[in-house]
Amino acid sequence: MIRTIIVGSGSYLPSKILTNQELAAMVETSDEWIVQRTGIKERRIAAEGELTSDLATIAAERALADAGYTADDIDLIILATATPDHTFPATAVTVQDRLGMHHGAAFDMQAVCSGFVFALATADCYVRTEQARRVLVIGAETFSRILDWSDRTTCVLFGDGAGAVVVEASEQPGEISDRGILTSHLRSDGRHKEKLYVDGGPSATRTVGHLRMEGREVFKHAVSMIADVIEAAFEATGTGPADIDWFVPHQANKRIIDASAKKLGIPQDKVVITVDRHGNTSAASIPLALDEARREGVIGDGQLVLLEAMGGGFTWGSVLVRM
């Protein structure tokens, strides 16, 4: 059967580091509070004029180089972002153009923090139905542009960044030992849409708006929603926590990650953590963490990797993939 295998990854972080100490000079907070409640020590902030498409293009170029391909080899670009350069066109077409790719198709995907998981699951559908042979899947965000920098309950949590993977079709035996995406599970429930949202938009206010969140409410739902899609992945594949080599969760809050891993029986030493250095980079967090772990030789070929995300909407999802 056809499986969608990951053949390359890349990422990019803006050079400016914003520390908790610097934030404590801007709003009433402290390094101690932020570290204790979130695990975040610092985050990156895009430079003035540095756009989501700029971050995405560098991550994409690095993923292509890692895979040994050029944009000519790609049929489709799916870019997950909640912070596009403009209301339209899709940031994906800007990236497509910047890569010198003038064939195929490119579109954005909007599932906020779950965006990369939604985009990867979508790429898998295109590949397995033979509508695309090779797809560039990107998560890229400049959340610093939609934060209310006077709101201490949100501005300390997020950061900017981008990550990308190249996936392609591969004929595999159709077993659990196959390389590639073994299963994916996506969910959303719009009843929760006001718990994490941006209070502006072209149709609603004609403005961009700022991120608003009922943090405690999001936290309350996060662990059970994460467990729901991970249990679905285990059930669909007959696997369990003992089979997982690496857990690469969305990096929103170290406490959410720890609680999810504990609930699912995934040991701490199998969990990839970047939230301490990146903060919550929304759709970029998983491909950033995945790329870092691959480049450091932590995640290697043949290993079983569990991806999971939960975010605004609410949206949540999981992908189980053998590298």
Of the candidate residues 2, 17, 35, 37, the single one contacting ligand UT7 (CB under 6 A): 37
Total residues at the site for ligand UT7 (CB under 6 A)?
20
From the number of C-beta atoms within 10 Å of its C-beta (0-12, 13-18, 19+), residue 301 rates as exposed
Which position among 74, 222, 232, 321 is part of the footprint of ligand UT7 (CB under 6 A)?
222
Q: How far apart are CA 272 and CA 213, in angstroms?
A: 25
Q: Are 133 and 170 in contact (CB under 8 A)?
A: no
Q: Which of 123, 196, 273, 286 binds ligand UT7 (CB under 6 A)?
A: 196
Q: Which of 185, 210, 250, 278 is catalytic?
A: 250
Nearer to ligand UT7, 27 or 105 (CB): 27
- Given a contact cutoff of 8 angstroms between Cβ atoms, the answer to whether 299 and 9 are in contact is no
Quick count: other Cβ atoms within 10 Å of Cβ 165? 30
Q: Are 288 and 278 in contact (CB under 8 A)?
A: yes
Tokens describing residue 32: 């101690």
Closest CA to 186 of 224, 219, 232: 232
Q: Among this protein's residues, is 280 annotated catalytic?
A: yes
In angstroms, rounded to a whole number, what is the distance separating the alpha carbons of residues 39 and 118? 26
Q: Is 117 in the site for ligand UT7 (CB under 6 A)?
A: no
The verdict on 29 binding ligand UT7 (CB under 6 A) reads: yes
Under the binding rule (CB under 6 A), the answer on residue 25 touching ligand UT7 is no
Does the protein bind ligand UT7 through residue 156 (CB under 6 A)?
A: yes
Question: Active site includes 20?
Answer: no
**Collapsed DSSP state (helix, strand, coil) of residue 135:** strand
Binding mask 55-94 for ligand UT7 (x = CB under 6 A): ----------------------------------------
Active site residue 250: yes
Based on CB atoms, which residue is closest to ligand UT7, 13 or 218? 218
Segment lying near ligand UT7 (by CB under 6 A), choices 66-74, 120-128, 213-221, 288-296: 213-221
Extract the tokens encoding 167.
Answer: 């996936």
- Considering 113, 155, 192, 210, which one is annotated as catalytic? 113
Q: Is 216 in the site for ligand UT7 (CB under 6 A)?
A: yes
Among 30, 45, 31, 39, smallest CA distance to 276 is for 39
Query: CB of 12 within 8 A of CB of 281?
Result: no
CA distance 322 to 91: 29
Closer residue to ligand UT7 (CB): 16 or 152: 152
Binding site for ligand UT7 (CB under 6 A): 29, 33, 37-38, 113, 152-153, 156, 196, 215-216, 218-219, 222, 252-253, 256, 280, 310-311
Active site members: 113, 250, 280
